[in-house]
Amino acid sequence: MNALKHRKVRLASRLNTPCKSSLHLVTGRSRNAPWDDSGCRRLPIEQLLQLLSCAVSGFVLVMLASSCASTSERMEPLSSVQTLQYYPYLVKGYENTYPKRRVMVLSAVDARDFKDNSGAAHTANNGNPAIGVVRDKSGEILQRLYGPRLEPLVQDSIAQAAREAGMMSFTSNVPLREALSSRQAEYVIYPKIARFWVDKHRGPDNPGGATWFATAEVALDVVVYKAPFDVPFWQGESDATYDDPPPPVAGVVPQDETEIYDDPGQVLSVGLTRAAAGIFKRQDLRTLIAEDSVTPHQ
């Protein structure tokens, strides 16, 4: 009976003792280390606790690193509402080239299809339409750009450009049919926004620091009616692409160019100004209106 109890005690001792084959790689085996006749080393409880603490610490560090990486990958881009405006008299060469005719400019229609802006969100943010993005060197979106309502902005810009061209322009939000029948103006302009986007991206670094480049694209589809007729008198597209900084001159490295504007909204405003003024820089429209016989407005 005593022999059987003695064998049970030895079996229990073996089960609770760290095995040499699994622990000697971690703790290191000393030639003078005490080993029992079962081939297993007896480790002090403090050393076992230290090993367990190291294992837990390593696991926590791995989980923290994984959590930080996942948080970084899920980070949403920032958003910014940009100021947009028409820059009076920025475009030269067409001022006062049109006869003094009355022109009514209707509210524009936002007809953008965003086919050329893949990878970017195009939904409005709190009523502010999407107008562009800011990207890093790898092309990842850092910031989404939004602007004010585009319809009245484009409407006012075209009216301003018409005044610079020499015409007497004003805006109205009445429907097209009512605008034509009212005969408040000799011509009615009905615009649609086909493209309106700015893409600012980081370029290569130079000794002076980071470089940035921005491209604005604006395209306006315009129909001009001669009141009271509902058949288009003239129609066409006026588009503008503006790069900031502008394309380098001969002998200048692109990385050495410096931005003119700080905000992408300013770059897009230049594109808007050029597109609106471009309507009246069209020689065919100027010729049509100059040669058109109209009854003086009473």
Q: Give the pLDDT confidence of 241-250 residue by residue, as tens digits.
A: 999 998 765 5
Q: Alpha-carbon Rg of the chain, whole angstroms?
A: 37
Residues 132 and 33: their CA atoms lie apart, in Å, by 70
Backbone dihedral region of 230: left (phi > 0), alpha (psi from -120 to 50 degrees) or beta? alpha
C-alpha torsion angle, residues 38, 44, 45, 51 (rounded to 10): -90
Is pLDDT of 283 > 70? yes
Alpha-carbon torsion 123, 216, 193, 272, what sign? Answer: positive
DSSP-derived pairing of the beta strands 141-146 and 130-135? antiparallel
For residue 100, the one-letter residue type is: K
Beta bridge partners of 172: 106
Closest CA to 122 of 48, 196, 22: 196
- pLDDT tens-digit profile of 211-243? 899 999 999 999 999 999 999 999 999 999 999
pTM of the model: 0.72
Residues 102 and 42: their CA atoms lie apart, in Å, by 103
Report helix, strand or coil for 191.
strand
- pLDDT tens-digit profile of 81-129? 999 999 999 999 999 999 999 999 999 999 998 876 655 678 899 999 9
Q: Across the chain, what does the average pLDDT equal? A: 81
Is pLDDT of 60 > 80? no
Residues 216 and 240: their CA atoms lie apart, in Å, by 8
HSE-CB of 38 using CA atoms within 13 angstroms: 16
Residues 142 and 68: their CA atoms lie apart, in Å, by 18
